[in-house]
Structure 1
Amino acid sequence: MSSQASQASATPPLLVEKKTFCVPHFTTQGGRLIKDVRIGYETYGRLNDNGDNAILVCHYFSGSSHCAGKYHPDDPLSGYWDAIIGPGKAIDTDRFFVVSADTLSNVCPKDPMVVTVGPATVDPDTGWPYGAAFPIVTNRDFVRLQKALLDSLGVKRLKCVAGPSMGAMQTFEWGAQYPGMVDRLLPVIGAGLHAEPYFIAEIDMWTLPILMDPNWRGGNYFDGPEPVEGLRQSLKIITLTARAPGWARALFDRSWAKPDADPLAAGGNLYSVESTLDAIVAERSRYADAAHLVHLVRGCRIYDIDEGGSSVKAIRAPTLLISVASDGIMFQSYSRRAADELRAQGTPVQWAEIDTDGGHLDGLYEIARVAPQIRAFLE
């Protein structure tokens, strides 16, 4: 082991605590009231006396507020952007106070480290889970709750708002909704400034296996069997589309799942890529909920900075867009169109690319490749 690797392995992990933020009632973008709202959040670093050294990190579609560090030193995995968040890293927690919050209708409400309100939550007015009665919630709703959280923490100004994928949508919403509070925007592997028609159709397909599951029952299944098989197939589609051919080729090529089980010999004999996806989905489905997933997809379809009295023209904060060359969900063209539109109105724009062949998720797992650009952007 090299001395550098030894030093890295000896560095203690950044430890973080999950906390809960509560508001008694919240009115959604669509005008619906939700009572007793609770969301989880995490913080890293310390807020200065002026309350102006904060960075907000908004999470991706199936993620959570756990963007860095560990809850316990023995945890096997760190938060998804641990490579760039922490002492001395690109988002330096010795300088910045980093905040991240769980969204409403989080995909994984069964995860003990996620705090959220959604279709699986008990409606205080009825004593039963909301189910299909839970309102559509949008990225703008998430941003308004984040603003309330930051106010409660004493944050007066944000040095930057950052986030990957769905978090990039929230990043631009921040730039439009609270332009006087945000110094910089860092949207990574995002949808641009609007949910484009192809993107709307693509994520709608994620929900189809759930909607076709006989246990779906219009989203009101909480008194009986859940649509588990539909959920698993939806998660499989999401997981595969979040990757790319180069990822599968490098990891699996055409290897069989079992050396003595030729797929030609029997239809049930699998290739390694198939069995691996099945294993990933089996684990993820333990914590996910079908109605939460469907509701979140429906909320993401609504995304449009120019809708509901908002305007792209309000976005004036310097912006660093980061894309992945092989992204098959948030195509580079989405971010390029956003960059062109922002530049045309005089907003300072920078561009960085993660030139890998692993697909959308390389915006999480290969983010260290653009750490120097992120560090320079925050100076």
Structure 2
Amino acid sequence: MKFQSIFLLALSATATLAQQKNWPTPTHGDFTISNFTFDSGQVLNNLKIHYQTLGKLQVHPDGTTNAVLILHGTTGSSGQFLNPDFAGVLFNPGQVLDTKKYFIIMPDGIGHGNSSKPSTSGLRASFPGYQYSDMTRATYRLLTEHLRVKHTRLVMGVSMGGMHTWTMGTQYPSLSDALMPIACLPTQISGQNRLWRKFIIELIRSDPAWNSGDYTAQPIASLGGALFLVQTMFSSPLYYQSQYPTRDAMDRYVDQLLPHIAEYDANDLLYAWNASHTYDPTEEGLGKIKARGLTAVNTADDMINPPELGVLERVVGSLELRGLGAKAVVVPESSETVGHGSYIKAKLWVDELQLLLAKTGPKGSSSCS
């Protein structure tokens, strides 16, 4: 188990019997892109994108499909969705993304999961410095060139994947009927959000043990500091206080995390958190979105995307003025929310997903049959 894995498993333990695994076993695949050119101008001879799918692709006479693209968060992978709190609320028979009805596509982004990344490529810190735009371009090529999906019913993402959803909407305006970015903001990363990301980057880079990325053992001190920052920002004060109400309880929790630091790779982490550097949705770019509906969801206790900034409402309001069926939703803080990590608890926003699909479906229906 790793840092976020421990946290997500703690959430999954609360799942009801109705949320147990009835979704099918996923099909795994790899797509290799030859001579992939990054925005930096660097080229990777063979870029591997790993993915998982559930269900079967249906292409309708008008060119639309039943494909649903779901995008994961920073340092995560497609596997983070296959748990009772997410898949158990969405993918089971009769649920909103029933895999007998939809073709679910969950890729591992560049630098994550089983896709090409610094630690497995042999390149270490010579691996191309990828950005979100590179990641979404590779995802688009996976869809269109490998899976032969020219159109999607829905693009949905969480955290980094939510930002990728905004980016997909601007880079490929006609790709999807509906967009649902979760736990993110459609604006350049700045202020506190940039502060802790920059701390992570500089912690690792300034550690002599990192050795410019050519280390033989993980630089534990800086790697641990980076992961502690992530863990602090990932949840909320209310959740941590309710789960660990005493000093000793929290100390035991931290002690559980410590042995797992070395399971991470410092270069992978450094690259992943630096990938948001050029993310900067502009009003002009967002105005290109042609999806028939967009619902953006955050939670009120998300310290990474605090609602008091008012960014979500301002941007979505601007999109509404442009005629896009856009909606901003901020889920109130409660005993059910867990800060930024609330994105994995689909029951908090599944009703909004149902409404979005109904609004953008044929004749007002969410049916793809």
- Shorter-chain TM-score category? 0.7 to 0.9
Query: Which of these residues, 108, 115, 135, is aligned with residue 102 of structure 1?
Result: 108
Q: Which residue of 1 aligns with 2:3?
A: none
Deviation at 1:99? 0.4
Secondary structure of 1:155's counterpart equals: coil
Q: Which residue of 2 aligns with 1:368?
A: 347
Residue identity matched to 2:55 = G
Matched, 1:288 2:287: no
Distance 2:16 2:198 in 1: 44
Is the CA contact (8 Å cut-off) linking 1:68 and 1:82 kept in structure 2? no
* Residue pairs, 1:261-300, within 5 angstroms: 272-280=249-257, 282-283=259-260, 285-300=261-276
Matched, 1:338 2:329: no
* Residue pairs, 1:28-107, within 5 angstroms: 28-50=38-60, 52-69=65-82, 77=83, 81-106=87-112
Query: Which of these residues, 328, 336, 343, is aligned with residue 351 of structure 1?
Result: 328
When residues 275 and 6 of structure 1 are mapped into structure 2, their CA distance, relative to the original with a 3 A threshold, is: closer
Q: Which residue of 1 aligns with 2:285?
A: 311
Range 347-356 or range 311-320, more displaced: 347-356
Cα deviations across residues 6-27 of structure 1 (Å, max 9, x unaligned)?
A: 5655x64531133211112211
Deviation at 1:200? 1.9
When residues 194 and 347 of structure 1 are mapped into structure 2, their CA distance, relative to the original with a 3 A threshold, is: farther
Q: Which residue of 2 aligns with 1:180?
A: 174
Distance 1:218 1:5 in 2: 47
Q: Which residue of 1 aligns with 2:237?
A: 245
Distance 2:128 2:191 in 1: 23
Secondary structure of 1:191's counterpart equals: coil
Distance 1:8 1:116 in 2: 29
Range 158-167 or range 329-338, more displaced: 329-338
Q: Which residue of 1 aligns with 2:33?
A: 23
Secondary structure of 2:177's counterpart equals: coil
Distance 2:190 2:88 in 1: 30
Distance 1:234 1:201 in 2: 12
When residues 191 and 374 of structure 1 are mapped into structure 2, their CA distance, relative to the original with a 3 A threshold, is: same
Unaligned 5+ segments in structure 2 are: 1-14, 359-369
Distance 1:91 1:359 in 2: 24
RMSD of the alignment, in Å? 2.4
Report the structure number with the largest CA radius of gyration.
1
Deviation at 1:255? 4.1
Is the CA contact (8 Å cut-off) linking 2:218 and 2:262 kept in structure 1? no
When residues 7 and 104 of structure 1 are mapped into structure 2, their CA distance, relative to the original with a 3 A threshold, is: closer
Is the CA contact (8 Å cut-off) linking 1:354 and 1:363 kept in structure 2? no
- TM-score normalized with structure 2 length: 0.83
Is the CA contact (8 Å cut-off) linking 1:57 and 1:100 kept in structure 2? yes
Residue identity matched to 1:53 = N
Is the CA contact (8 Å cut-off) linking 1:306 and 1:312 kept in structure 2? yes
Is the CA contact (8 Å cut-off) linking 1:85 and 1:91 kept in structure 2? yes
Deviation at 1:78? 5.4
Distance 2:114 2:255 in 1: 27
Deviation at 1:212? 3.8
Is the CA contact (8 Å cut-off) linking 1:158 and 1:183 kept in structure 2? yes
Deviation at 1:79? 8.1
Residue identity matched to 1:245 = P
Deviation at 1:178? 0.9
Is the CA contact (8 Å cut-off) linking 2:23 and 2:91 kept in structure 1? no
Deviation at 1:33? 0.8
- TM-score normalized with structure 1 length: 0.81
Distance 2:18 2:302 in 1: 34
When residues 211 and 330 of structure 1 are mapped into structure 2, their CA distance, relative to the original with a 3 A threshold, is: same
Residue identity matched to 1:319 = L
Q: Identity rate of aligned residues, in percent? A: 23
Deviation at 1:342? 1.9
Secondary structure of 1:319's counterpart equals: strand
Matched, 1:206 2:219: no
Is the CA contact (8 Å cut-off) linking 2:200 and 2:226 kept in structure 1? yes
Q: Which residue of 1 aligns with 2:365?
A: none
Deviation at 1:375? 1.3
Number of residue equivalences: 334
